[in-house]
Structure 1
Amino acid sequence: MEFNILALVVAAASTLVVGAIWYNPKVFGTAWMKAAEMTEEKMKGANMAKIFGLALLFAFFIAATLRALVVHQSGVFSLIEGDVEGALPSYAAFMNDYGTSFRTFKHGMLHGFITGVTMALPIIGTNALFERKSAKYIFINSGFWIVCMMLMGGIICAWE
């Protein structure tokens, strides 16, 4: 089972595309700015290269973790500690029988959705509660990550 780095890079980059749409003023951008107490003045002067670069890096970390959740064969691969040549013949037999099972975009989206709802929503929600942010803020930002994780999961699962 090879590690498809390009799938992870594309999945990570997809978050920037979704973000450009999601946080557009005609979608949720205006509502997010109000809920986040963000102003045009605060947005000016930011180092956008740093922001987008780090956002892409963080999204790559998410994609790498999401891979283990959407590609079920990752667990079997970890059992042999990555040593395909030294694995018992049962590993090859298992991979021949099940190596491509549940490797679809739709299946990856399902696991991305589950991960978004059970990981992104609670993390963002907890931070927002302590920051005294509104439910609108929680749902806009959590919704973004749920959609992103669905798309990332689909890309990773289908492209492996």
Structure 2
Amino acid sequence: MELPINPVAIPIAAVAALVIGAVWYNPKFGFGNVWMRESGMTEEKMKTGKMGVIFGLALVFAAILSVLLMQFTNHQWGAFGMIGGDPAAEGVLPSFQAFMDDYGNAFRTFKHGALHGGIFGVFGALPIIGTIALFERKSAKYIFVNSGYWIVTLIIMGGILCAWH
């Protein structure tokens, strides 16, 4: 039986978050100048910090987010949740296997995952970033640049996670 998770998709989706960020926050190609101005970041401040740690943790956080996002993009998780996890466990009814045979890969497309990733971004990332920004007295531009990044990123991550099975 095919599991609703492809462990290779998780690191690929996590790396995608960093690649999108490199373009999105780049001063030459994306919103880097707006982000720097609205966040109070300077060129001098950008040169400080341990970049290996920053990018390493960003990758770990993106991988954690990928695991969570997979729950939203792959409907098959619901079927696994109904039986409590392991489909080979004792007591799992044959109807579960019949259901998975009929619907095991239903809605497993990039487009469907992108839709759920976008919904997750709008209803998850936007309110979180917006709330933090309001209390930090950041501008609407700051909210839209950062939320926009996460919405686009979650769309791509969701597509990767859902389609790759």
Is TM-score (shorter-chain normalized) higher than 0.5?
Answer: yes
In the TM superposition, residue 45 of structure 1 has moved relative to its aligned partner by 2.3
**SS at 1:46's partner residue?**
coil
Q: 2:154 aligns with which of 135, 149, 154?
A: 149
Instruction: Spell out structure 1 runs of 4+ moving beyond 3 A.
Output: none
Distance 1:53 1:5 in 2: 19
Unpaired stretches in structure 1, ≥5 consecutive residues: none
Identity fraction in percent: 59
1:140 aligns with 2:142: no
In the TM superposition, residue 106 of structure 1 has moved relative to its aligned partner by 0.3
Deviation digits for residues 28-66 of structure 1 (CA, Å, limit 9, x no counterpart): 001100000100111112100000000011111111000
Q: 1:113 aligns with which of 90, 115, 118?
A: 118
Distance 2:153 2:60 in 1: 15
Q: Which residue of 2 aligns with 1:93?
A: 98
> Which residue identity is paired with 2:98?
A
**Structure 1 length-normalised TM:** 0.97
Distance 1:145 1:103 in 2: 22
Distance 2:15 2:83 in 1: 31
Distance 1:38 1:68 in 2: 35
Q: 2:65 aligns with which of 59, 62, 65?
A: 62
Distance 1:157 1:24 in 2: 28
Q: Which residue of 1 aligns with 2:84?
A: 81
Distance 1:152 1:101 in 2: 19
Distance 1:65 1:83 in 2: 19
Distance 1:113 1:85 in 2: 33
> Which residue identity is paired with 2:21?
G
In the TM superposition, residue 157 of structure 1 has moved relative to its aligned partner by 0.3
Deviation digits for residues 64-93 of structure 1 (CA, Å, limit 9, x no counterpart): 000010000101111212221132100110
In the TM superposition, residue 10 of structure 1 has moved relative to its aligned partner by 0.4
| Matched pairs, number | 160
Distance 1:78 1:136 in 2: 40
Unpaired stretches in structure 2, ≥5 consecutive residues: none
